Structure 1
Amino acid sequence: MNLKKVIMLGATGAVGNQAALQLSKIPQLGQLTLLGRNQANNIVGEVIQQHQVDVCKPDSYCSLLQGHEIAICTLGVGQPSKMSKQAFVEIDKIAVLDFAIACKAAGITHFQLLSSVGASAASRSFYLRSKGELEDALKALNFERLSLFQPSMIITPKNRYGLSQALFLKFMPLLDPLLIGSINKFRSIAVDRLGKAIAFNVYTEYADINKIETLHWADFITLSRNINNLENSIVTNQRV
């Protein structure tokens, strides 16, 4: 069996930490390399390697990319409204794109990105426009496979950002059942389920000839359920 070798940027964030934690439990994992400004202390195991790097300086981690086949990037700013637009772009867009470019140069074939529902280069929202521009830049790199995770509201066990998040955490689950059909992609998703989805997607195969998959709430639910059934073989999960 080809044991997967995964490298990840952003494992100390809420979603990234859950994805890394789920990956660390999968027997088919050959190596998980975590890059970040700090170490994820709850991610341990024989196949886990952690390196403290400057996420804004690719030279600090380029040599660590070789030998991996899959990259996951969940790097991002927790509260974009609390910082300048320039600072947001430096982390959420430039640092992520630099990581992707370095991954491509190192021969990594599958790149997974934590993005946002509504991401579009044509959006009037600065946040969504920046995310859309990043997605377009990643598509232009022509990875053999590009997975774009676009969640809406992410539900965490604890309120991390004050009153606005407290209101979302309380009321969003009540609104979710009303979001049906084509708008179910705006449903909230629990952070652990999203982490499971990102982890399990590493072990799926994508049959679409376009090589690019955009994943929303329904995909997260399916993937997070399937991770519990991961056995000693690669599971094929084809989406059209």
Structure 2
Amino acid sequence: MEGPMVDVVMLGASGAVGGEALKALAGMPQVGRITLLNRREIALPGPKAVQHVIDPGDPASYRAHLAGHDVAICTLGVGEPSKTARDVFIRVDHDMPLTFAQACRAAGIGHFSLLSAVGVSAGSRFLYVRTKGQLEDGLRALGFARLALFHPSMILTPENRYGPTQAVMLALWPWLTPLLAGPLRKYRGVRVEDLGRAMAVEAVRGGTGEAVLEWDTFQTLT
């Protein structure tokens, strides 16, 4: 017997991972409506998806579009944290996702999925992983019935999006991946299409409680 249809709202679908998750969701028969909250219009993958141009920093611009959804997916984040001002990074990678989650929770959405990062810790002295860890702590406090935290290491995209440093990493990481064994497996690179599909599959399979998803889980889901 087929389960109930799932309606999904997404923040960050214009990015690489969000775009892959969107494509996967659009092809799933279990998915009904897909509502996209974007800073700019993007090409839609099919009739299931509708989009609204909003300000991610202002929940008043999107709050009315949240009601009736079952799952929220947040893949919002700056592209190159090392080249982004500290205050801008914190606003985009912590404040905006947390505000979105708070609005989703108030709208009755019980399942929240976040694109985070491997090794996050609210107590770290490193800004990137500390900020992500603080965001996750903030999400836990909201009491979602299902909280899925995706912890990829290097995300392998087909093209170089951010300059020379990423070009080097994209070239080297596939060679390093087989060497990352045992407890280091979670640092293996993941193809962006696999990560996006894993987020889509997790969104429709249901469940309760908190789940931290790393490299092995991505492979299982895809």
Letter aligned with residue 176 of structure 1:
T
Answering whether residue 27 of structure 2 is matched by residue 25 of structure 1, we say yes
* Residue of 214, 217, 224 corresponding to 2:215: 217
Answering whether residue 68 of structure 2 is matched by residue 67 of structure 1, we say yes
Task: Assess if the C-alpha contact under 8 Å between 1:17 and 1:40 holds in 2.
Answer: no
Normalised by the size of structure 1, how large is the TM-score? 0.90
1:30-83 deviations in whole A, cap 9, x for unaligned? 100000101221x23222111000011000000000000100000000011222
Task: Could you tell me which runs of 5 or more consecutive residues in structure 1 were left unpaired when the two chains were aligned.
Answer: 225-240
Match of 1:86 in 2: 87
2-structure distance, mates of 1:160, 1:64: 31
Shift of 1:144: 0.3
Which residues of 2 match residues 170-185 of structure 1 at below 5 A? 170-185=171-186
Letter aligned with residue 200 of structure 1:
V
Shift of 1:169: 0.5
Letter aligned with residue 126 of structure 1:
L
**Secondary structure in 1 matching 2:148:** strand
Shift of 1:204: 1.8
Letter aligned with residue 66 of structure 1:
A
1-structure distance, mates of 2:145, 2:38: 25
Letter aligned with residue 160 of structure 1:
R
Task: Assess if the C-alpha contact under 8 Å between 1:121 and 1:129 holds in 2.
Answer: yes
1:2-39 deviations in whole A, cap 9, x for unaligned? 11000000000000000011101111111000001012
The percentage of counterpart residues that share the same residue type is 49
Shift of 1:163: 1.2
Answering whether residue 42 of structure 2 is matched by residue 44 of structure 1, we say no
1-structure distance, mates of 2:100, 2:15: 17
Answering whether residue 203 of structure 2 is matched by residue 205 of structure 1, we say no
Which residues of 2 match residues 225-240 of structure 1 at below 5 A? none
Answering whether residue 143 of structure 2 is matched by residue 142 of structure 1, we say yes
1:166-206 deviations in whole A, cap 9, x for unaligned? 11111111011111112100000000000010001112233
Match of 1:128 in 2: 129
- Give the length in aligned residue pairs: 220
Match of 2:168 in 1: 167
Choose 128-137 or 197-206, whichever is displaced more: 197-206
**Secondary structure in 1 matching 2:24:** helix
C-alpha RMSD of the superposition: 0.9
Letter aligned with residue 102 of structure 1:
A
Letter aligned with residue 214 of structure 2:
H
Letter aligned with residue 7 of structure 1:
V
2-structure distance, mates of 1:44, 1:188: 26
Shift of 1:152: 0.1
2-structure distance, mates of 1:39, 1:191: 21
1:203-227 deviations in whole A, cap 9, x for unaligned? 22336xxx11000000001111xxx
Task: Assess if the C-alpha contact under 8 Å between 1:36 and 1:52 holds in 2.
Answer: yes
Task: Could you tell me which runs of 5 or more consecutive residues in structure 2 were left unpaired when the two chains were aligned.
Answer: none
**Secondary structure in 2 matching 1:196:** helix
Which residues of 2 match residues 103-118 of structure 1 at below 5 A? 103-118=104-119
Letter aligned with residue 105 of structure 1:
A
**Secondary structure in 2 matching 1:202:** helix
Match of 1:237 in 2: none
